[in-house]
Homo-oligomer: A and B are copies of this chain.
Amino acid sequence: MVSTRGSATDTGTAAPESSTPAKRAAGAKAAPAKRAKRGNGTSLNGERARDREVIETAVQIFWEKGYASASVQDVADALGMLKGSLYYYIDSKESLLRKIFEDSHSEIVALTEFVTEVDGSAMERLERFLRDYAMWTLTHLERAGLYSREWRYAGPTLKATLTEQQTYYDTHLRDLIVAGQAEGALDPQVDPRRASAFIWAAYTGLPDWFRPSGRHKAEDVASIYVDLALRAAGRYSSGSPYSTS
């Protein structure tokens, strides 16, 4: 069962403040059941054809230039449309950022929840989480980079949401470390609170240097980061580190 530790998950995903399509509905006259959610060019979750394309492009541009420096024009250019046209897909520049963040959040939450369901020791779950999260970061470099770097440029409401989300992740990691200590697999002298922050920050550095086109495979980098993180977390030395992957 999916126990999401209360409201944390909802925070980000709930109340998505109505993205694009439903935008215009509040009219009078009882409109004849506008826009059936399926069967007319829209996919399962109500996204229209280019919705994803728009978001992915924005991720790219925002990460390259920085959210604040990137203009709506830049995104439109990359999409090959006029900036005015872009507003058919988005509500505002910040709503784009919000959508991007929401996507990231859901994905990380999914990771998180998956791990809690995994059978095995706390250490196995911790390692699994560290690996999954590293892999997610490495396979979603730009999105992950944005998520960890650009919250400073979010408006107050969005920023509040993001802070809550960060707290959720941090708590999750801390709990895993605490469990590892309880199991006797991690040095109890390590402060779980600090270790969690330390590791989390260390992971956010990945998008700064990793290049998927480079000579290092994402899996290997993930293994290395898991090892480094577990060392920081106080794992008692257990022979060769890279036996896991």
A73 CB within 8 Å of chain B: yes
Q: State whether A228 and B68 are in contact (beta carbons under 8 Å apart), knowing that A152-B149, A208-B201, A237-B237 are contacts in the complex.
A: no
Q: Give the number of residues in A that approach B within 8 Å (Cβ atoms).
A: 59
Question: Which residues of A are interface residues toward B (Cβ below 8 A)?
Answer: 24-32, 34, 57, 65-66, 68-69, 73-74, 76-81, 149, 152-153, 187, 189-191, 194-195, 197-206, 208-209, 221, 224-225, 227-229, 231-234, 236-237, 240-242
Docked-complex contact B152 and A66, CB < 8 angstroms = yes
Please name 24 pairs of A and B residues whose Cβ atoms are closer than 8 Å in the assembled complex, sorted by A.
A26-B77, A27-B78, A27-B79, A28-B57, A28-B77, A29-B57, A29-B78, A29-B80, A32-B80, A34-B80, A68-B68, A149-B152, A189-B240, A190-B227, A190-B228, A198-B202, A198-B229, A200-B205, A201-B201, A204-B205, A228-B232, A231-B231, A231-B232, A231-B234
How far apart are the CA atoms of A221 and B198 in the complex, in Å? 11
Q: Given A149-B152, A190-B227, 17 more contacts at CB 8 Å?
A: A24-B73, A25-B77, A29-B78, A29-B80, A34-B80, A66-B153, A189-B241, A191-B224, A197-B209, A198-B228, A199-B202, A201-B206, A202-B232, A229-B232, A231-B231, A231-B234, A236-B237
